[in-house]
């Protein structure tokens, strides 16, 4: 799909076709990264088509605040911000990916994406409406998925990070949307329902359809209300 055919409410900020040529071709988009990082794309960064489908599901209105949990080099955030009216933030623990993300965003002139260098375990989800995860934690339990040794690998981290995400997602309001790409989805609490899958079931679109046990009683009442009210 050519870049110029996509609608965005931030028209003044959208780079011209010259600045962002063929952004929707994976191999060309990935050229914006240094060679030392580019080769990771096939395995570790979401394909452009997947980013677009996920972002379109997550952004339900202009300004929806989307968090990419483990954003790598910021590819999902960049494509999401370019193709929807959402506000995208990514958190990434590896410094070299954060640097590559900032350089890519600068190169494409995408100023409205925020990349945070940090660990998801230290973040509250209160400031976000919707969430994206491309299998961020399994490298701790599956050595074949290990990106590098910049951060400590330990099965305990898998448990801790998964639990943190689960607990944070439980606290989000009814109708919260999440997209997972690959992974066993252990981060998704039972109060979320998978409403659609794509790409042979690797992409899953989730909505919080039931109150979680710790939810405010008002959430239960809210859940009972007819949709029109």
Ligand X SMILES: C[S@@+](CC[C@H](N)C(=O)[O-])C[C@H]1O[C@@H](n2cnc3c(N)ncnc32)[C@H](O)[C@@H]1O
How far is it, in rounded angstroms, from Cα 174 to Cα 2? 35
Query: Counting contacts by CB under 6 A, is residue 45 touching ligand X?
Result: yes
Tokens of residue 164, six digits = 């943190």
Counting contacts by CB under 6 A, is residue 46 touching ligand X? yes
Tell whether residue 93 is a contact of ligand X (CB under 6 A).
yes
SS (H, E, C) 185-212: CCCCCCCEEEEEEECCCCEEEEEECCCC
Range in contact with ligand X (rule: CB under 6 A) among 104-112, 114-122, 197-205, 206-214: 114-122
Please identify the residue of the shown chain whose CB is closest to the bound ligand X: 70
> For 105, what's the count of Cα atoms within 13 Å in the CB-facing half-sphere?
24
Sole binder of ligand X in the list 94, 96, 99, 102 (CB under 6 A):
94
Q: How far is the CB of 209 from ligand X (least distance, A)?
A: 25
Contact status: 68 vs ligand X (CB under 6 A):
yes
Q: What are phi and psi of 36, to 5 degrees?
A: -65, -15
Q: Which stretch binds ligand X (CB under 6 A): 21-29, 42-50, 205-213, 218-226?
A: 42-50
Asked if 97 touches ligand X (CB under 6 A), the answer is: yes
β-pair partners for 115: 90
Footprint on residues 208-227 left by ligand X (CB under 6 A): none
Segment near ligand X (CB under 6 A), from 64-72, 172-180, 190-198, 204-212?
64-72
Distance CA 175, CA 168 (A): 14
Q: 169 vs 23, 25, 79, 182, CA distance in Å? A: 32, 32, 24, 18
- The answer to whether the beta carbons of residues 35 and 43 sit under 8 Å apart is no
Nearer to ligand X, 158 or 192 (CB): 158
User: Which positions touch ligand X (CB under 6 A)?
Assistant: 44-46, 68, 70-72, 75-76, 91-94, 97, 119-121, 134-137, 147, 161
């Amino acid at each position: 799909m050519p870049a110029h055919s996509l609608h965005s409410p931030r028209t003044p900020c959208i780079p011209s076709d010259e600045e962002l040529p063929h952004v929707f071709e994976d191999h060309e988009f990935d050229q914006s990264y240094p060679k030392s990082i580019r080769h990771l794309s096939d395995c570790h960064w979401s394909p452009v088509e997947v980013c677009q489908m996920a972002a379109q599901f997550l952004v339900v209105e202009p300004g929806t605040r989307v968090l990419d949990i483990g954003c790598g080099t910021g590819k999902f955030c960049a494509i999401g911000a370019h193709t929807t009216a959402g506000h995208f933030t990514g958190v990434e623990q590896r410094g070299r990916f954060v640097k590559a993300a900032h350089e890519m965003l600068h190169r494409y002139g995408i100023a409205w994406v925020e990349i945070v260098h940090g660990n998801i375990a230290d973040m509250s989800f209160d400031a976000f409406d919707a969430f994206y995860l491309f299998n961020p934690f399994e490298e701790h339990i599956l050595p074949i998925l290990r990106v590098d040794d910049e951060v400590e690998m330990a099965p305990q981290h898998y448990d801790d990070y998964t639990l943190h995400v689960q607990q944070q997602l439980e606290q989000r309001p009814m109708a919260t949307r999440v997209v997972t790409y690959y992974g066993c989805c252990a981060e998704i609490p039972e109060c979320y329902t998978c409403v659609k899958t794509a790409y042979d079931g690797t992409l899953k679109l989730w909505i919080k359809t039931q109150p979680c046990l710790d939810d405010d009683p008002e959430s239960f009442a809210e859940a009972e209300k007819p949709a029109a009210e």
